[in-house]
Amino acid sequence: MIAGGCTVEYPSPMAPRRSPTLRLATGTVDLVRQRFQRTDGAAVPLTAREARLLEHLADHVGQDVDRDALLVQVWGHRSVSLSRAVDTTVARLRRKIEQEPTSPRLLLTVHGHGYRLVPDDASAVAPVQGPPPRPPLRLPRGHHGRCIPPRHAMNDPTTEARGLALAYLSVLNERRIDAFADVLGDDLVSHLRVGDIVGLPAFVAVMEMCYDAFPGVIWEVDELIVTHDRAVIRYHFDAVQRGAFLGIPASHRMAHLEGVEVLHVRDGKVREIWNYADIMGLAAQLGAERPLALQM
Amino acid sequence: MTLLLALPLLTVTDANAHGRRHGCDVDDLLEDYLDLFNDRATDWTHVLDEDYTVESPYGTYDLAGWQALTGGAWTAMPDVQWSLVRAVESGDKVALEYSFAGTFQADFLGIPANGASIVGRGMEMHQIDRSACRIVQTWNYSDAYGFFAQLQ
Protein backbone atom coordinates (compact mmCIF):
# COMPACT_ATOMS: atom_id res chain seq x y z
CA MET A 1 0.00 0.00 0.00
CA ILE A 2 3.00 2.29 0.30
CA ALA A 3 4.03 2.60 -3.29
CA GLY A 4 7.20 4.38 -4.26
CA GLY A 5 7.94 4.69 -0.58
CA CYS A 6 5.38 7.28 0.40
CA THR A 7 2.03 6.78 -1.25
CA VAL A 8 -0.77 5.03 0.52
CA GLU A 9 -3.68 3.81 -1.53
CA TYR A 10 -6.89 3.60 0.40
CA PRO A 11 -7.49 -0.07 1.00
CA SER A 12 -10.83 -1.15 -0.32
CA PRO A 13 -11.22 -4.78 0.58
CA MET A 14 -14.96 -4.47 0.33
CA ALA A 15 -14.70 -2.89 -3.08
CA PRO A 16 -15.95 -5.13 -5.83
CA ARG A 17 -13.61 -6.75 -8.32
CA ARG A 18 -16.04 -5.84 -11.10
CA SER A 19 -17.88 -2.60 -11.81
CA PRO A 20 -18.70 -0.85 -8.52
CA THR A 21 -22.29 -0.22 -9.57
CA LEU A 22 -25.10 -2.55 -10.56
CA ARG A 23 -28.29 -1.43 -12.18
CA LEU A 24 -31.38 -3.43 -11.35
CA ALA A 25 -34.93 -2.93 -12.50
CA THR A 26 -35.84 -1.50 -9.10
CA GLY A 27 -32.83 0.75 -8.65
CA THR A 28 -29.06 1.02 -8.61
CA VAL A 29 -26.70 -0.76 -6.25
CA ASP A 30 -23.55 1.09 -5.24
CA LEU A 31 -21.30 -1.73 -4.11
CA VAL A 32 -18.62 0.61 -2.82
CA ARG A 33 -20.87 2.78 -0.69
CA GLN A 34 -23.04 -0.23 0.10
CA ARG A 35 -26.21 1.56 -0.78
CA PHE A 36 -29.25 0.80 -2.93
CA GLN A 37 -30.78 3.79 -4.65
CA ARG A 38 -34.36 2.87 -5.43
CA THR A 39 -35.98 4.22 -8.56
CA ASP A 40 -38.47 5.99 -6.30
CA GLY A 41 -35.59 8.00 -4.88
CA ALA A 42 -35.19 6.24 -1.55
CA ALA A 43 -31.64 5.37 -0.51
CA VAL A 44 -31.38 2.08 1.34
CA PRO A 45 -28.15 1.16 3.15
CA LEU A 46 -26.77 -2.32 2.57
CA THR A 47 -24.61 -4.26 4.93
CA ALA A 48 -21.16 -5.25 3.74
CA ARG A 49 -22.34 -8.83 3.49
CA GLU A 50 -25.41 -7.91 1.47
CA ALA A 51 -23.26 -5.97 -0.96
CA ARG A 52 -20.82 -8.86 -1.22
CA LEU A 53 -23.64 -11.33 -1.82
CA LEU A 54 -25.13 -9.16 -4.54
CA GLU A 55 -21.75 -8.76 -6.16
CA HIS A 56 -21.18 -12.49 -6.19
CA LEU A 57 -24.63 -13.23 -7.61
CA ALA A 58 -24.15 -10.53 -10.23
CA ASP A 59 -20.90 -12.21 -11.26
CA HIS A 60 -23.03 -15.29 -11.94
CA VAL A 61 -26.14 -13.53 -13.19
CA GLY A 62 -28.78 -15.90 -14.51
CA GLN A 63 -27.00 -18.90 -13.01
CA ASP A 64 -28.02 -21.06 -10.09
CA VAL A 65 -25.58 -20.44 -7.26
CA ASP A 66 -25.29 -23.13 -4.64
CA ARG A 67 -26.05 -22.09 -1.05
CA ASP A 68 -22.98 -23.87 0.27
CA ALA A 69 -20.82 -22.16 -2.35
CA LEU A 70 -22.17 -18.82 -1.14
CA LEU A 71 -21.20 -19.67 2.41
CA VAL A 72 -17.67 -20.37 1.24
CA GLN A 73 -17.31 -17.56 -1.31
CA VAL A 74 -19.19 -14.78 0.44
CA TRP A 75 -19.06 -15.71 4.11
CA GLY A 76 -15.60 -17.21 4.05
CA HIS A 77 -16.67 -20.47 5.65
CA ARG A 78 -14.08 -23.14 5.14
CA SER A 79 -16.50 -26.00 4.87
CA VAL A 80 -20.17 -26.73 4.42
CA SER A 81 -22.16 -25.76 7.49
CA LEU A 82 -25.76 -25.62 8.59
CA SER A 83 -25.69 -21.86 8.86
CA ARG A 84 -28.86 -20.00 7.87
CA ALA A 85 -26.86 -16.87 7.20
CA VAL A 86 -27.49 -17.03 3.45
CA ASP A 87 -31.24 -17.35 3.82
CA THR A 88 -31.56 -14.56 6.36
CA THR A 89 -29.37 -12.25 4.32
CA VAL A 90 -31.34 -12.99 1.15
CA ALA A 91 -34.58 -12.27 3.00
CA ARG A 92 -33.21 -8.95 4.16
CA LEU A 93 -31.92 -8.11 0.68
CA ARG A 94 -35.27 -8.86 -0.88
CA ARG A 95 -36.94 -6.33 1.38
CA LYS A 96 -34.50 -3.78 0.08
CA ILE A 97 -34.27 -4.49 -3.63
CA GLU A 98 -37.54 -6.18 -4.56
CA GLN A 99 -40.80 -4.38 -5.22
CA GLU A 100 -42.66 -7.29 -3.65
CA PRO A 101 -40.27 -9.09 -1.32
CA THR A 102 -42.69 -11.98 -0.86
CA SER A 103 -42.88 -12.45 -4.64
CA PRO A 104 -39.31 -11.83 -5.70
CA ARG A 105 -38.56 -11.21 -9.34
CA LEU A 106 -34.84 -10.45 -9.07
CA LEU A 107 -33.44 -12.68 -6.37
CA LEU A 108 -35.00 -16.08 -6.87
CA THR A 109 -34.87 -19.19 -4.73
CA VAL A 110 -33.69 -22.32 -6.48
CA HIS A 111 -35.32 -24.87 -4.24
CA GLY A 112 -33.00 -27.40 -2.74
CA HIS A 113 -30.02 -25.62 -4.23
CA GLY A 114 -29.53 -21.93 -3.66
CA TYR A 115 -30.30 -18.63 -5.34
CA ARG A 116 -30.23 -16.96 -8.73
CA LEU A 117 -30.12 -13.29 -9.63
CA VAL A 118 -32.36 -12.73 -12.63
CA PRO A 119 -32.59 -9.48 -14.53
CA ASP A 120 -36.06 -8.16 -15.21
CA ASP A 121 -34.98 -7.05 -18.64
CA ALA A 122 -31.87 -7.07 -20.76
CA SER A 123 -30.34 -4.10 -18.98
CA ALA A 124 -31.37 -5.03 -15.49
CA VAL A 125 -27.91 -6.05 -14.37
CA ALA A 126 -25.50 -3.88 -16.20
CA PRO A 127 -22.27 -2.35 -15.01
CA VAL A 128 -22.37 1.40 -15.29
CA GLN A 129 -19.76 4.03 -14.64
CA GLY A 130 -18.66 4.05 -11.05
CA PRO A 131 -17.39 6.98 -9.05
CA PRO A 132 -13.80 8.03 -9.60
CA PRO A 133 -11.34 6.25 -7.34
CA ARG A 134 -10.31 8.02 -4.18
CA PRO A 135 -6.98 9.75 -4.55
CA PRO A 136 -4.10 8.11 -2.76
CA LEU A 137 -3.04 9.52 0.56
CA ARG A 138 0.52 10.66 -0.02
CA LEU A 139 2.91 10.50 2.87
CA PRO A 140 5.85 12.89 2.60
CA ARG A 141 9.26 11.65 3.58
CA GLY A 142 10.68 12.55 6.95
CA HIS A 143 14.07 11.88 8.44
CA HIS A 144 16.01 9.02 6.88
CA GLY A 145 13.55 8.92 4.02
CA ARG A 146 10.79 7.52 6.16
CA CYS A 147 7.16 8.24 5.53
CA ILE A 148 5.37 10.52 7.94
CA PRO A 149 1.74 11.56 8.08
CA PRO A 150 1.00 14.62 5.95
CA ARG A 151 0.85 17.99 7.66
CA HIS A 152 -2.60 18.72 6.32
CA ALA A 153 -3.77 15.57 8.02
CA MET A 154 -2.58 16.94 11.33
CA ASN A 155 -5.16 19.69 10.97
CA ASP A 156 -7.97 17.18 10.77
CA PRO A 157 -7.81 14.62 13.57
CA THR A 158 -10.11 12.18 11.81
CA THR A 159 -8.03 12.32 8.64
CA GLU A 160 -4.93 11.88 10.74
CA ALA A 161 -6.38 8.82 12.45
CA ARG A 162 -7.36 7.33 9.10
CA GLY A 163 -3.95 8.06 7.62
CA LEU A 164 -2.16 6.50 10.56
CA ALA A 165 -4.37 3.41 10.43
CA LEU A 166 -3.59 2.98 6.74
CA ALA A 167 0.11 3.58 7.28
CA TYR A 168 0.05 1.08 10.15
CA LEU A 169 -1.48 -1.56 7.87
CA SER A 170 1.03 -0.75 5.17
CA VAL A 171 4.10 -1.18 7.31
CA LEU A 172 2.70 -4.40 8.79
CA ASN A 173 1.88 -5.92 5.42
CA GLU A 174 5.12 -4.82 3.80
CA ARG A 175 7.15 -5.99 6.81
CA ARG A 176 8.78 -2.58 7.00
CA ILE A 177 10.04 -2.93 10.52
CA ASP A 178 12.33 0.03 9.90
CA ALA A 179 9.22 2.16 9.41
CA PHE A 180 7.28 0.96 12.46
CA ALA A 181 8.54 3.93 14.47
CA ASP A 182 7.01 6.30 11.93
CA VAL A 183 3.51 5.25 12.90
CA LEU A 184 3.86 3.60 16.32
CA GLY A 185 4.94 5.36 19.49
CA ASP A 186 7.92 4.15 21.47
CA ASP A 187 5.53 3.86 24.40
CA LEU A 188 3.11 1.66 22.45
CA VAL A 189 1.01 -0.71 24.52
CA SER A 190 -0.70 -3.49 22.59
CA HIS A 191 -3.34 -5.49 24.41
CA LEU A 192 -3.48 -8.93 22.86
CA ARG A 193 -5.55 -11.87 24.07
CA VAL A 194 -2.34 -13.64 25.04
CA GLY A 195 -1.08 -10.70 27.11
CA ASP A 196 0.00 -7.08 26.93
CA ILE A 197 2.92 -6.06 24.75
CA VAL A 198 4.62 -3.01 26.22
CA GLY A 199 6.96 -0.86 24.18
CA LEU A 200 7.77 -0.75 20.50
CA PRO A 201 10.70 -3.23 20.65
CA ALA A 202 8.45 -5.86 22.19
CA PHE A 203 5.84 -5.22 19.51
CA VAL A 204 8.49 -5.65 16.82
CA ALA A 205 9.51 -8.96 18.37
CA VAL A 206 5.92 -10.20 18.27
CA MET A 207 5.54 -9.17 14.66
CA GLU A 208 8.76 -10.91 13.68
CA MET A 209 7.37 -14.04 15.30
CA CYS A 210 4.19 -13.65 13.23
CA TYR A 211 6.18 -13.16 10.03
CA ASP A 212 8.24 -16.28 10.74
CA ALA A 213 5.13 -18.30 11.53
CA PHE A 214 3.09 -17.02 8.59
CA PRO A 215 5.50 -15.81 5.90
CA GLY A 216 2.72 -15.01 3.46
CA VAL A 217 0.48 -13.19 5.89
CA ILE A 218 -1.36 -10.13 4.62
CA TRP A 219 -3.87 -8.45 6.88
CA GLU A 220 -6.91 -7.68 4.75
CA VAL A 221 -9.24 -4.95 5.92
CA ASP A 222 -12.93 -5.80 6.06
CA GLU A 223 -13.97 -2.57 7.74
CA LEU A 224 -12.27 0.62 8.85
CA ILE A 225 -14.02 3.23 10.93
CA VAL A 226 -12.32 6.26 12.39
CA THR A 227 -13.00 9.08 14.79
CA HIS A 228 -10.77 11.91 15.93
CA ASP A 229 -8.54 9.73 18.08
CA ARG A 230 -9.42 6.16 17.29
CA ALA A 231 -9.46 3.81 14.36
CA VAL A 232 -11.20 0.46 14.39
CA ILE A 233 -10.04 -2.15 11.91
CA ARG A 234 -11.96 -5.35 11.30
CA TYR A 235 -9.61 -7.66 9.44
CA HIS A 236 -8.85 -11.18 8.40
CA PHE A 237 -5.96 -13.13 6.98
CA ASP A 238 -5.47 -16.42 5.22
CA ALA A 239 -1.96 -17.78 5.48
CA VAL A 240 -0.02 -21.00 5.77
CA GLN A 241 1.74 -21.65 9.06
CA ARG A 242 5.41 -22.30 8.32
CA GLY A 243 6.85 -21.68 11.77
CA ALA A 244 5.99 -22.06 15.43
CA PHE A 245 3.19 -19.84 16.68
CA LEU A 246 2.21 -19.49 20.32
CA GLY A 247 3.70 -22.86 21.11
CA ILE A 248 2.13 -24.61 18.15
CA PRO A 249 4.79 -26.13 15.89
CA ALA A 250 4.70 -25.46 12.16
CA SER A 251 1.68 -27.28 10.77
CA HIS A 252 2.00 -26.16 7.12
CA ARG A 253 -1.76 -25.74 7.18
CA MET A 254 -3.71 -22.86 5.73
CA ALA A 255 -5.36 -20.88 8.50
CA HIS A 256 -8.03 -18.22 8.50
CA LEU A 257 -8.11 -15.63 11.26
CA GLU A 258 -10.57 -12.83 11.82
CA GLY A 259 -10.27 -10.07 14.37
CA VAL A 260 -10.74 -6.47 15.21
CA GLU A 261 -8.31 -3.86 16.47
CA VAL A 262 -8.86 -0.49 18.04
CA LEU A 263 -6.00 1.95 17.60
CA HIS A 264 -5.69 4.89 19.94
CA VAL A 265 -4.00 7.77 18.15
CA ARG A 266 -2.29 10.64 19.90
CA ASP A 267 0.29 13.18 18.78
CA GLY A 268 0.65 11.70 15.35
CA LYS A 269 1.37 8.14 16.47
CA VAL A 270 -0.53 5.02 17.39
CA ARG A 271 -0.10 4.77 21.15
CA GLU A 272 -2.30 1.90 22.21
CA ILE A 273 -3.87 -1.09 20.48
CA TRP A 274 -6.62 -3.39 21.66
CA ASN A 275 -6.79 -6.58 19.64
CA TYR A 276 -9.52 -9.18 19.68
CA ALA A 277 -9.05 -12.16 17.40
CA ASP A 278 -10.29 -15.71 17.34
CA ILE A 279 -7.03 -17.15 18.62
CA MET A 280 -8.71 -20.31 19.86
CA GLY A 281 -10.23 -20.95 16.45
CA LEU A 282 -6.87 -20.35 14.87
CA ALA A 283 -5.23 -22.85 17.20
CA ALA A 284 -7.83 -25.45 16.27
CA GLN A 285 -7.12 -24.90 12.57
CA LEU A 286 -3.43 -25.38 13.21
CA GLY A 287 -4.13 -28.77 14.71
CA ALA A 288 -3.55 -27.97 18.35
CA GLU A 289 -4.70 -31.08 20.20
CA ARG A 290 -6.61 -28.99 22.67
CA PRO A 291 -7.86 -25.43 22.32
CA LEU A 292 -4.95 -23.12 22.93
CA ALA A 293 -6.62 -21.52 25.91
CA LEU A 294 -6.62 -24.83 27.70
CA GLN A 295 -2.88 -25.18 27.35
CA MET A 296 -2.16 -22.12 29.46
CA MET B 1 -29.72 1.23 32.48
CA THR B 2 -28.45 1.64 36.02
CA LEU B 3 -25.38 -0.51 35.72
CA LEU B 4 -24.28 1.06 32.51
CA LEU B 5 -24.81 4.63 33.63
CA ALA B 6 -22.74 3.99 36.72
CA LEU B 7 -19.73 3.04 34.65
CA PRO B 8 -17.04 5.45 33.50
CA LEU B 9 -18.00 5.33 29.88
CA LEU B 10 -15.50 6.25 27.26
CA THR B 11 -17.70 6.86 24.30
CA VAL B 12 -16.57 8.52 21.13
CA THR B 13 -19.62 10.22 19.77
CA ASP B 14 -18.54 12.38 16.88
CA ALA B 15 -21.33 11.02 14.73
CA ASN B 16 -24.04 11.07 17.38
CA ALA B 17 -25.53 14.35 16.26
CA HIS B 18 -26.06 12.81 12.86
CA GLY B 19 -27.81 9.87 14.45
CA ARG B 20 -30.18 12.01 16.50
CA ARG B 21 -31.13 14.02 13.45
CA HIS B 22 -32.33 10.78 11.96
CA GLY B 23 -34.19 9.77 15.09
CA CYS B 24 -31.80 7.02 16.11
CA ASP B 25 -29.70 7.71 19.18
CA VAL B 26 -26.92 5.16 19.03
CA ASP B 27 -26.05 5.63 22.71
CA ASP B 28 -29.59 4.64 23.60
CA LEU B 29 -29.51 1.77 21.16
CA LEU B 30 -26.33 0.41 22.74
CA GLU B 31 -27.83 0.71 26.21
CA ASP B 32 -30.88 -1.18 25.03
CA TYR B 33 -28.60 -3.76 23.45
CA LEU B 34 -26.75 -4.43 26.71
CA ASP B 35 -30.05 -4.47 28.57
CA LEU B 36 -31.10 -7.44 26.44
CA PHE B 37 -28.36 -9.46 28.07
CA ASN B 38 -28.39 -7.98 31.53
CA ASP B 39 -32.17 -8.05 31.93
CA ARG B 40 -32.55 -11.53 30.41
CA ALA B 41 -34.96 -10.06 27.87
CA THR B 42 -37.08 -12.48 25.88
CA ASP B 43 -38.04 -10.13 23.05
CA TRP B 44 -35.01 -8.69 21.29
CA THR B 45 -36.71 -7.32 18.21
CA HIS B 46 -36.86 -3.72 19.43
CA VAL B 47 -33.06 -3.69 19.22
CA LEU B 48 -32.16 -6.33 16.64
CA ASP B 49 -33.57 -6.69 13.15
CA GLU B 50 -35.73 -9.76 12.65
CA ASP B 51 -33.23 -11.01 10.07
CA TYR B 52 -30.32 -10.22 12.34
CA THR B 53 -27.20 -12.32 11.93
CA VAL B 54 -24.11 -12.53 14.09
CA GLU B 55 -20.76 -13.99 13.22
CA SER B 56 -18.80 -15.15 16.22
CA PRO B 57 -16.01 -17.52 17.25
CA TYR B 58 -18.78 -19.99 18.05
CA GLY B 59 -20.31 -19.85 14.56
CA THR B 60 -22.79 -17.83 12.55
CA TYR B 61 -26.21 -17.43 14.11
CA ASP B 62 -29.53 -15.88 13.36
CA LEU B 63 -31.54 -14.11 16.03
CA ALA B 64 -33.07 -17.25 17.51
CA GLY B 65 -29.77 -19.10 17.50
CA TRP B 66 -27.95 -16.26 19.22
CA GLN B 67 -30.68 -16.03 21.83
CA ALA B 68 -30.33 -19.75 22.49
CA LEU B 69 -26.57 -19.51 22.94
CA THR B 70 -26.98 -16.52 25.22
CA GLY B 71 -29.58 -18.44 27.20
CA GLY B 72 -26.96 -21.10 27.79
CA ALA B 73 -24.60 -18.48 29.18
CA TRP B 74 -27.37 -17.17 31.44
CA THR B 75 -27.92 -20.66 32.80
CA ALA B 76 -24.23 -21.30 33.30
CA MET B 77 -23.63 -17.92 34.95
CA PRO B 78 -26.94 -16.80 36.46
CA ASP B 79 -25.38 -13.63 37.85
CA VAL B 80 -23.51 -12.62 34.70
CA GLN B 81 -23.61 -8.94 33.79
CA TRP B 82 -22.20 -7.23 30.74
CA SER B 83 -20.74 -3.71 30.78
CA LEU B 84 -19.73 -1.28 28.10
CA VAL B 85 -16.03 -0.47 28.08
CA ARG B 86 -15.88 1.79 25.05
CA ALA B 87 -17.72 2.46 21.85
CA VAL B 88 -16.47 3.97 18.64
CA GLU B 89 -19.15 5.09 16.24
CA SER B 90 -18.94 6.26 12.67
CA GLY B 91 -21.74 6.31 10.15
CA ASP B 92 -23.74 3.11 10.30
CA LYS B 93 -21.04 1.18 12.13
CA VAL B 94 -20.38 0.96 15.85
CA ALA B 95 -17.51 -0.89 17.47
CA LEU B 96 -18.36 -1.90 21.00
CA GLU B 97 -15.88 -3.22 23.52
CA TYR B 98 -17.50 -4.92 26.48
CA SER B 99 -16.65 -6.83 29.58
CA PHE B 100 -18.62 -9.33 31.58
CA ALA B 101 -18.41 -10.92 34.98
CA GLY B 102 -20.27 -13.82 36.54
CA THR B 103 -19.96 -17.06 38.45
CA PHE B 104 -19.74 -20.40 36.65
CA GLN B 105 -22.55 -22.27 38.40
CA ALA B 106 -23.94 -24.69 35.80
CA ASP B 107 -22.41 -26.76 32.99
CA PHE B 108 -21.73 -24.91 29.76
CA LEU B 109 -21.07 -26.56 26.40
CA GLY B 110 -20.21 -29.79 28.16
CA ILE B 111 -17.81 -28.22 30.62
CA PRO B 112 -18.79 -28.92 34.24
CA ALA B 113 -19.36 -25.95 36.50
CA ASN B 114 -16.50 -25.12 38.85
CA GLY B 115 -17.96 -22.22 40.82
CA ALA B 116 -15.21 -19.92 39.64
CA SER B 117 -15.64 -16.18 39.20
CA ILE B 118 -15.37 -15.53 35.48
CA VAL B 119 -14.41 -12.24 33.90
CA GLY B 120 -14.04 -11.65 30.22
CA ARG B 121 -13.91 -9.09 27.48
CA GLY B 122 -14.89 -8.90 23.88
CA MET B 123 -15.42 -6.59 20.99
CA GLU B 124 -18.23 -6.38 18.52
CA MET B 125 -18.79 -4.40 15.40
CA HIS B 126 -22.40 -3.64 14.66
CA GLN B 127 -24.05 -2.59 11.44
CA ILE B 128 -26.99 -0.33 12.21
CA ASP B 129 -30.04 0.37 10.12
CA ARG B 130 -30.61 3.94 11.26
CA SER B 131 -33.99 4.25 9.61
CA ALA B 132 -35.32 1.39 11.74
CA CYS B 133 -32.87 2.06 14.58
CA ARG B 134 -32.03 -1.62 14.74
CA ILE B 135 -28.81 -3.59 14.68
CA VAL B 136 -28.89 -5.72 11.54
CA GLN B 137 -25.58 -7.53 11.75
CA THR B 138 -22.89 -8.12 14.34
CA TRP B 139 -19.37 -9.38 14.12
CA ASN B 140 -18.51 -10.69 17.56
CA TYR B 141 -14.93 -11.22 18.69
CA SER B 142 -15.37 -12.40 22.22
CA ASP B 143 -12.29 -13.62 24.02
CA ALA B 144 -13.19 -17.29 23.81
CA TYR B 145 -9.51 -18.01 24.42
CA GLY B 146 -9.53 -16.41 27.85
CA PHE B 147 -13.09 -17.44 28.62
CA PHE B 148 -12.61 -21.18 28.22
CA ALA B 149 -9.34 -21.05 30.13
CA GLN B 150 -11.28 -19.86 33.16
CA LEU B 151 -13.88 -22.59 32.87
CA GLN B 152 -11.26 -25.28 33.52
> What is the residue-averaged pLDDT of chain B?
83
d(CA A223, CA A242): 28
Q: Which of residues 233-252 of A touch B (CB under 8 A)?
A: 234
What are the start-end ranges of the H helices in A61-179? 67-73, 85-97, 151-154, 157-173
Residue B124's alpha-carbon distances to A99, A233, B56, B57, in angstroms, are 33, 11, 9, 11
Comparing C-alpha atoms, which of A25, A33, A69, A27 is closest to residue A50?
Answer: A33
Q: How many CB atoms lie within 10 A of CB B133?
A: 18
Going residue by residue through chain A, which has 296 residues, state the pLDDT in tens, using 9 for 90 and above: 333 333 333 333 333 344 577 888 888 888 877 788 888 888 887 877 788 888 888 888 888 888 878 877 777 654 445 556 788 788 888 888 888 888 888 889 888 788 988 865 434 444 444 444 433 333 434 434 344 444 444 567 788 888 899 999 999 998 999 999 999 999 999 998 778 999 999 999 999 999 999 998 999 888 899 998 999 999 988 899 999 988 889 999 999 999 999 999 999 999 999 999 988 888 888 988 654 443 33
ipTM confidence: 0.78
CB contact B86 to A (< 8 Å): yes
In B, minimum Cα distance to A261 occurs at B123
User: Between B62 and B17, where is the model more confident?
Assistant: B62
pLDDT in tens, A245-274: 888 899 999 999 999 999 999 999 999 999
Give B72 to chain A, closest Cα distance, Å.
Answer: 19
Residue of A nearest to B63 (CA): A88
Residues 6+ apart with CB under 8 A from B105: B76, B77, B78, B79, B113, B115
Query: Residue A122: its pLDDT value, please?
Result: 38
> Which three-class secondary structure state does DSSP give residue B98?
strand
Return the residue of B nearest to A279 by Cα. Answer: B145
pLDDT tens across B4-38, in order? 333 333 333 333 333 333 478 999 999 999 999 99
Distance separating alpha carbons of residues A22 and A30, to the nearest angstrom: 7
Asked if the model's pLDDT at residue B145 lies above 70, the reply is yes
The predicted model scores a pTM of 0.62
* Interface with chain B: mutation pick from A232, A263, A274, highest number of B CBs within 10 Å: A232
Cα separation, A117 vs B73, in Å, equals 40
Q: Nearest Cβ partner of A227 from B12, B51, B142?
A: B12
Interchain CB contacts (distance < 8 Å): A and B: 111
More confident residue, B108 or B9: B108
The answer to whether residues A228 and B12 touch, using CB atoms and an 8 Å cutoff, is yes
Residues of B within 8 A of A91 (CB-CB) are: 51
Please indicate if any CB of chain A lies within 8 Å of the CB of B17: no
Q: Given CB atoms, is B62 within the 8 Å cutoff of chain A?
A: yes
Q: Among A85-89, B9-13, B58-62, B85-89, which range has the highest average pLDDT? A: B85-89
A5 to chain B, closest Cα gap in Å: 30
The angle formed by the CA atoms of residues A293, B61 and B89, to the nearest 5 degrees, is: 85
Residue B135: C-alpha distances to residues A35, A141, B72, B131 (Å): 16, 42, 22, 11
CA distance B26 to B19: 7
How confident is the model at residue A83, as a pLDDT? 59
Query: What average pLDDT does this structure show over B69-96?
Result: 92
Q: Is the dihedral of CA A36, A42, A43, A45 positive or negative?
A: negative
Check residues A8 and B43 and name the one with the higher pLDDT. Answer: B43
